[in-house]
Amino acid sequence: MSYVLHYAPDNASMIVRLVLEDLGLPYQVALVDRAVQAHQSTAFRALNPAGLIPALETPQGVMFETAAILLWLADTHRAMAPEPGSARRPAFLSTLFFTSNTLHAQLRMMFYPWKYVGPDDEAQARLRTKLRTASAADMALPGALTVLDRYYASLDKDGARAPWVLDYYIACILRWCRIYPARWTGWCDLGAYPALDRLTKMLETRPSVDRVARAEGLGAHPFTAPQLPTPPEGSAL
């Protein structure tokens, strides 16, 4: 079984690429060059009608939506996730879709506020401020990370385990929280999320992380000391 991953460096495709590498699966990459808005092209929208990266070509057809791809890979290859029917499965699924539907969705608002509130600079600044503000009443970005930190703290009590697809999803999001967008970083301190901090350190020992970091120009410590990418091809933005 071989795959084709339509990717851009340091985009959500990186999450899928890390999982493909960790699973040791054969795959090819096809660059979606954001510098020329290739993700909005007719050809790419035939793969992903939403015009979002990634898309994954599989023997059963094309898939899009990061969480769906991750869950499908885990279940197809019976690895990197709690087995269906296991005691850990319900919380894993809840956390995977919370990461996708709440955390990742809010991060997109941080990156592209004009898509949600229009061209007004003040409205965009208010949205970004709201998203990165900790509040007991609102589930903004800091609150979402707290939910994840508590989940991983509970997993840590059970001892060492092999990485899950969810781990890579969260590690990539933590990377992006600390480097994007320009002038709006600094709110995400991993010291406030010790279980997530441990997760990023553990993943950086994986050969799969080193291979993807080299391929996409992410630097030596893409999760623990993230820096803006210098990809050998394509553009992250």
Measure the CA–CA gap between 183 and 49, rounded to whole angstroms.
32
Answer for the pair 185, 115: CB distance below 8 angstroms, yes or no.
Answer: no
**CATH, residue 185:** 1.20.1050.10
Q: What are phi and psi of 195, to 5 degrees?
A: -70, -40
Q: Is residue 120 in some structural domain?
A: yes
Domain that holds residue 143: 89-206
What is the model's pLDDT at position 154?
A: 95
For the stretch 116-165, pLDDT in tens is 999 999 999 999 999 999 876 789 999 999 999 999 999 998 877 899 99
Q: Is residue 150 in some structural domain?
A: yes
Q: Which helix (H) or strand (E) holds 152?
A: helix 141-156
Q: Is residue 130 in some structural domain?
A: yes
What is the average per-residue pLDDT within 63-90?
97
pTM of the model: 0.95
What is the average per-residue pLDDT within 7-23?
98
Q: Is residue 233 in some structural domain?
A: no
Question: What are the distances in angstroms from CA 35 to CA 108, 123, 235?
Answer: 18, 26, 6
Provide the sign of the torsion angle of the four alpha carbons 227, 230, 234, 237, taken in this order.
Answer: positive
| Token duo for residue 90 | 């319900």
The total domain count for the chain is 1
Q: Is residue 137 in some structural domain?
A: yes
Amino acid making up residue 81: A
Q: Is residue 132 in some structural domain?
A: yes
Q: Is residue 198 in some structural domain?
A: yes
Answer for the pair 96, 72: CB distance below 8 angstroms, yes or no.
Answer: no
